[in-house]
Structure 1
């Protein structure tokens, strides 16, 4: 099986696994992350195959999709092993995926350019119009309020990590999404993130104006 066939096999595997996923971590999120990664790679020197495969598989075992249990290695290792990737390659993919998440990469930057690219690609999909749509999809999927007037929106100015799983969808912007612009690794992602960040600010300003008494 050549590289293209392997990628297509992984693509089909991911599509089948995420067929009924409605939390914003669906198949089309993965497609957008892959596309973002490809854009970033135009200006970066990296192992393209590792970036593409890690992008396709970065959410497949995520704890958010498995009742709080991370199943990345349980799913990814046998999948890639069955496709005759060697153990070193598989370990590299698992390490990239482990460094992609917001909490996983907040305090410690990714250790490879491949992980930096995939992390940036994933974070870009949490920003802008797509990010807004995904924030409310995820919040609704988890039974969260759209907004609560008791939210402490000043958290945007702090370095506190995103930890509150019960906060409103609007609070999620201040806890996490508005902080992403300053956490990008690559110049390409920083450029794209700037516009998406400004769009989220416009949205939040309009939202706050509309809920005023």
Structure 2
């Protein structure tokens, strides 16, 4: 068993990512990884510490190790590529990493992605998936949605019908439509009771934002 503490592993992971992680996507950077880890800790504590903390820590920091653009046809392969690269990294770069935990890390990373549609088979995978999905909700989720829209050169919202009350939803054209197409469905897709509770609270922030935007754009 490794004698390195969680705090020491986290410092090592951050040091590696600072030197090697892609820097062209501010929605999948070290700040994102740290928030996911902190949310994993919150969920794991509330759920009775059922998950292995080192597996959670590792998967939190490396779940987006390979970045694939959201509009790429290979987007659904991103989590598998990240899982495979993380396995190689833990085996060859972090020589003291416990070998018996690598499979758990690999599965958690592979299963975390919404687009991969992989069933979670462990507590670690379930918690990581919940924590990562919560990054799409709340104020952070709003910021990340419109940041991504800017990267993809899509419009922020439909100028006369922002909530798509009289048109089909189209989140490839309008960023705000993504709230209804995907994000507001996330609370019902959470794996843990704690994740569902937190996600429901954060989803309310999106709903409030939508209402405020309609008021400002239409006066209704």
Offset from partner CA, 1:169-211 (integer Å, 9 cap, x none): 1111111111111111112212211211111101011112222
Q: Distance in 2 between matches of 1:153 and 1:101?
A: 27
SS of residue in 2 equivalent to 1:24: coil
Structure 1, unaligned stretches of length 5 or more?
Answer: 159-163
- 1:86 Cα deviation (Å)? 5.5
Query: Is 1:52 aligned to 2:64, yes or no?
Result: no
Which residue of the other structure, out of 42, 47, 53, is the alignment partner of 2:45?
Answer: 42
- The 5-angstrom pairing of residues 13-32 of structure 1 reads 13-18=16-21, 20-32=23-35
Structure 2, unaligned stretches of length 5 or more?
Answer: none
TM-score relative to the length of structure 2: 0.80
- The 5-angstrom pairing of residues 135-150 of structure 1 reads 135-148=145-158
Relative contact order higher in (CA < 8 Å, ≥ 6 apart): 1
Offset from partner CA, 1:21-62 (integer Å, 9 cap, x none): 334112211111011001111023111111111011111114
**Number of residue-to-residue matches in the alignment:** 203
CA contact (8 A) 1:22 1:137 kept: no
Offset from partner CA, 1:46-94 (integer Å, 9 cap, x none): 11111111011111114238x6463314531221002233655323211
Which residue of the other structure, out of 105, 112, 124, is the alignment partner of 1:100?
Answer: 112
Q: Distance in 1 between matches of 2:20 and 2:114?
A: 23
Structure label with greater radius of gyration: 2
Q: Distance in 2 between matches of 1:143 and 1:131?
A: 18
The structure 1 segments of at least 4 consecutive aligned residues displaced by more than 6 Å after TM superposition are: none
Give the alignment's Cα RMSD to 1 decimal.
2.8
Partner in structure 1 of residue 175 of structure 2: 169
